Amino acid sequence: MYLPLLQEVASPPASSMREQLKRLREFQRLYNEELPHQALDDATPADCYQASARRFDGILREPVAEVELDAASILRRSC
């Protein structure tokens, strides 16, 4: 993704920050809404996105693991 981003957005760079942000937003829209992704069976991220049913109350909390795992068990499961 980085090479296409660089080619589309920064080669050559825009003449102003406003124009550069416009290019970045257009690339983001294209990447998420139009270009098929092999990892998504040629769907777009927009096709696969589903909003969370949970509401954010504005309070950031520490993540809590639902299951306790140690590093050794994770390594054994990854291959």
CA torsion angle for 3, 26, 20, 12 (degrees, to 10)? Answer: 40
Domain range summary for the chain, segments of one domain joined by + = 1-50
Write down the pTM of the prediction: 0.62
- The per-residue pLDDT for range 11-69, each reduced to its tens digit, is 888 999 999 999 999 999 999 999 999 999 999 999 999 999 989 999 999 988 777 76
The token pair at 9 is 């957005």
Closest Cα to residue 33, out of 48, 23, 21, 51? 48
Amino acid at position 51, single letter: A
